[in-house]
Amino acid sequence: MSSIRPPAVAGSFYPADAEALGALLDECFVSSPLGPRGTSKPNPSLTAGMVPHAGPIYSGPCAAHLYAQLEPSVQCIILLGVDHWARGHKASLSPWECWRTPLGDVFVDDELTEFLHARVKFLTRNENAHAEEHSIEIQLPFLQRVLGEFKFVPISLSHLSVEECAELGNVIAEAYEAEMLKNVRTVILASSDLSHYLSPRETEELDQIALDRVLALDPAGLLEVVEKKGITMCGALPTAAMLYAANALGRKRTRLLKHCHSGDVTRMRKVVGYASVTIEL
């Protein structure tokens, strides 16, 4: 197997041409009416967050609210995504040394990957969970645009229990602290969209129920309301693991940067919800 993961959704979710992709990212950060219009400044207290993962034309302006707050000094991203089709192991690390996008290659932090692998019994390196999945890949061009060079640890999740989310989150918090002790500035991100293919009114109502639990730093409550209310939040498990990590790190402050849906970009009867949330010191 090649040591490079090729892009799976370049040319479909986002442009395969580097110049066209750069122009789209610029639009997300500056020109879109949903974007921060260049007003956001890097936030040194940013520890973790939730960010959407649809095509940038739809969720990119929302995602840009969070990415505009990343300090250029960030060197490592622990990036939790969802295995939409459950094709791989339930908690999967990257088997590749780097991931390729039209903007270049992003190297996996092998040392940190091994740190997690050694401490979480249900984590394994698995190709099937990542090979055709977009939820992690879609974040990389934004990160490349803001950070330039960085390393990351991609973790794809499916079918975890609440207890397993807690275990993973606690170990991610240990990894975060270990990196910070080495002066490696690290941020934990969960990739998640919210309600899928409902009316704008239904989307806003159900999204808010889930977001209330995210903003309350309540991972168990999030998973509970998603199940009980039938909220089609596709990254609930990554978000719960991220919240458990934030709690283990003693973080108390959350901010909803943006909540919107695909109908804000193109008029449609059934929409997908998006939100960007930060967790800070």
197-214 pLDDT tens trace: 999 999 999 999 999 999
Residue 109 Cα distances to 8, 14, 75, 115, angstroms: 21, 25, 10, 10
As for how many domains the chain has, the answer is 1
20-60 pLDDT tens trace: 999 999 999 985 444 444 456 789 999 999 999 999 999 99
Burial level of 80, CB count in 10 A (0-12/13-18/19+)? buried
Using an 8 Å Cβ cutoff, are 255 and 277 in contact? yes
Residue with tokens 């692998």: 117
As a whole number of angstroms, the distance between CA 198 and CA 179 comes to 41
The pTM is what? Answer: 0.96
What pLDDT score does 30 carry? 83
What pLDDT score does 41 carry? 77
Domain harbouring 36, CATH code: 3.40.830.10
Residues 64-92: what's their mean pLDDT?
A: 95
Closest of 197, 152, 187 to residue 5, by C-alpha: 152
As a whole number of angstroms, the distance between CA 146 and CA 58 comes to 19
- Other C-beta atoms within 10 Å of 216: how many? 12
As a whole number of angstroms, the distance between CA 229 and CA 258 comes to 22
Residue 202 Cα distances to 216, 226, 251, angstroms: 22, 14, 31
106: β partners: 99
265-279 pLDDT tens trace: 999 999 999 999 999
- Other C-beta atoms within 10 Å of 217: how many? 18
Domain that holds residue 53: 4-280
As a whole number of angstroms, the distance between CA 143 and CA 84 comes to 22
The per-residue pLDDT of the chain, averaged, comes to 95
CA 119 to chain centroid, in Å, comes to 22
